[in-house]
Chain A
């Protein structure tokens, strides 16, 4: 059984609209079971550890305000970061888009004569399609996060930003590892599978002199970079190689080192339901005698700066990638991550991806939500995701509206008619009367409408509609008033 799914590399440019992309998952009970199990486990752990924190609300307020402040003064903090990182021996590069970031990284690798690289899990590198670009240049890329190894060896793509292989179960992992690592008697016990990954990687850590990773936080005050992880593969990549390359979105800056006292407390609890993740590393440029002696940071814009323009959309960039919104989302729970056609799935993906694409692609994603608000409730930096979703829906509608052809557009005509009817009581009463009369033809004996023609059929395709009652509320109210008299 191979799970190496048929989907191509996650690229919003080529992705199908969400409703179509979700269908294969909805028809795959194994996949849905894997996703639901993982989500249930993380959700339960998160809820327990957030509840024990008596100052959660205050931490969340502080985290939200620190992130908002960093974005409002982003230019200044980015320059501060650059100055301090450079002074500490790092080299800072600026990439306006994905292509430039790939070029910068390829140039560094060429100078280093690097034929192989080890990688820490970085969703930003998937965003810029870095691995295929490096492979095309003849560089072998080795992912070192357990989940990323499962995906890389299985020819699969991440479906979650914190636990990217949550859609793969142990027997599928066993099959991939046995086949790709050439291990004959591998059991499907997660201990054995983890040990196999440890052995597979140990020599690579010790011998490959170039590493690429992401950043959880950039500290403007000191020029330091922080990486939050669990397995220790991050520490290996940050410590053993000669050269380290960090790819980070421009929004990752925090003003001061001590801001981590808030961020680290909310991040681990929200992401994995731990009081603190096993390892967090912070380093500042180059330290003589300790770790890589050549350090590069690539600051990536790639569609981020336009999001700063308006307050509603700007919230998107406060995100610290904890995935709490993904885990809380009833839509994600059913569809898994691949349906979103982007490395960023779930509610945050539904607002981030379309904006990164300047709304030229992924226009269906703002609709991939019931607007229930669970995502906002759990977000540690208080991103009002439903608010951003509604704003993006309005923008998508504005773009799709064709002014000249509007009198042929049933939606436009329908809304104009509704506008007219709702603004006049007598028209409303008449419309109700006609509507009740019309629907009577479709109401069955059981009092339900099972199918409607035309546009109405879109509703009844997936659910029944209760037939209208004999009396409207307004009629009942009028009758009641008469009786009382």
Chain B
């Protein structure tokens, strides 16, 4: 046996002999107490209001629009950002790529090309109002992880129907376990020096959100 196989067996043996017999654990797991809040109590408007409030507390810029106004709202936000070159995930709807800006479509862009871009526009999987969290599953619309990491400005399109109140509600929306997830709660930050909160260390320093009022 290789050293690795020996260590594996040794550790598992130690663990098993220490914690008792290796019995089925399904029933025990099902019996764990889960009396915390698993479903929010806010109405639709209050839920969206909370999401917007939390995002603004993180200094994210938030605007709202109707579904048909979305392309115009995107163009307005990009203009306001003062930036010109943007990364678009491969699956981003074509009508979201506002005219008059440089778009690099990420079907395997090199790191350097993404680093050179000034911003990125993506969709999202979910928004959690309680903590103002945006959840990305990095699908073709939401972009590879690198696309929402290197550019300094992230414009995220979030639909009202994607906003839940509590974190457990997000998990119950995951029908299959997503292999990649990034939970974003405000722009990157540090408080390592005298607990002074500084925005923008390595990730995007500017986060803007368009909340699209689709059906809720």
Contacts and interface: CB of A to CB of B under 8 A. Distances in A.
B192 A169 contact: no
A41 B196 CA distance: 9
Interface string B176-214: 011111111111111111111010111100000000000
Contacts of A61: 33, 35
B195 A224 contact: no
B180 A287 contact: yes
Interface string A56-80: 0011011001100101111111110
A299 B195 CA distance: 33
B4 to A, nearest CB: 6
B22 A76 contact: yes
Contacts of B196: 170, 190
A34 B212 CA distance: 46
A435 to B, nearest CB: 47
A413 to B, nearest CB: 38
Contacts of A250: 11, 15
Contact of A69 (B32, B172, B200): B32
A281 B12 CA distance: 28
Interface string B41-60: 00000000000001000000
B70 interface: no
Nearest to A251: B15
B64 interface: no
A427 to B, nearest CB: 45
Interface in B1-16: 3-4, 7-8, 10-12, 14-16
Interface residues of B, number: 71
Nearest to B16: A75
A274 B185 contact: yes
B20 interface: yes
User: Chain A contact residues: over half helix, strand or loop, or mixed?
Assistant: helix
Contact of A279 (B10, B168, B188): B188
A78 B190 contact: no
B19 A72 contact: yes
A331 interface: no
B133 A276 contact: yes
Nearest to B3: A100
A463 to B, nearest CB: 33
Contacts of B22: 73, 75-76
Given A78-B12, A232-B203, A250-B15, A224 B171 contact: no
A73 B54 contact: no
Contact of A190 (B33, B37, B181, B193): B193
A110 interface: no
B168 A261 contact: yes
A278 B186 contact: yes
Point out which of A173, A205, A230 has the most chain B C-beta atoms below 10 A from its C-beta. Answer: A230
B57 to A, nearest CB: 9
Contacts of A79: 12
Given A150-B192, A305-B11, A276 B132 contact: yes
Interface string A220-247: 0110100000111101101110000000
B97 interface: no
A282 B177 CA distance: 11
B16 A264 contact: no
Given A66-B32, A94-B7, A194-B190, A282 B181 contact: yes
Interface stretch (A252-260, A348-356, A361-369): A252-260
A171 B43 CA distance: 49
A58 B35 contact: yes
Interface string A296-315: 00010100011111000010
A305 B35 contact: no
Contact of A289 (B144, B171, B172, B200): B144
A474 interface: no
A305 B18 contact: yes
17 contacts: A54-B37, A75-B12, A94-B4, A94-B11, A146-B201, A190-B194, A190-B196, A194-B193, A231-B203, A232-B188, A239-B146, A239-B149, A261-B168, A261-B170, A261-B171, A275-B185, A279-B184
Interface of A: 34, 37-38, 41-42, 54-55, 58-59, 61-62, 65-66, 69, 71-79, 88, 93-96, 100, 104, 144-147, 150, 163, 165-166, 168-170, 173, 190-191, 193-194, 197-198, 201-202, 205-206, 221-222, 224, 230-233, 235-236, 238-240, 250, 255-258, 260-262, 264-265, 272, 274-285, 287, 289-291, 299, 301, 305-309, 314
Closest 9 pairs between A and B when the two form their complex, measured CB to CB: A232-B203, A232-B202, A308-B18, A232-B188, A305-B14, A276-B131, A276-B185, A231-B201, A275-B131
Given A150-B193, A230-B189, A276-B133, 6 more contacts: A37-B194, A95-B7, A231-B203, A250-B11, A276-B185, A280-B183
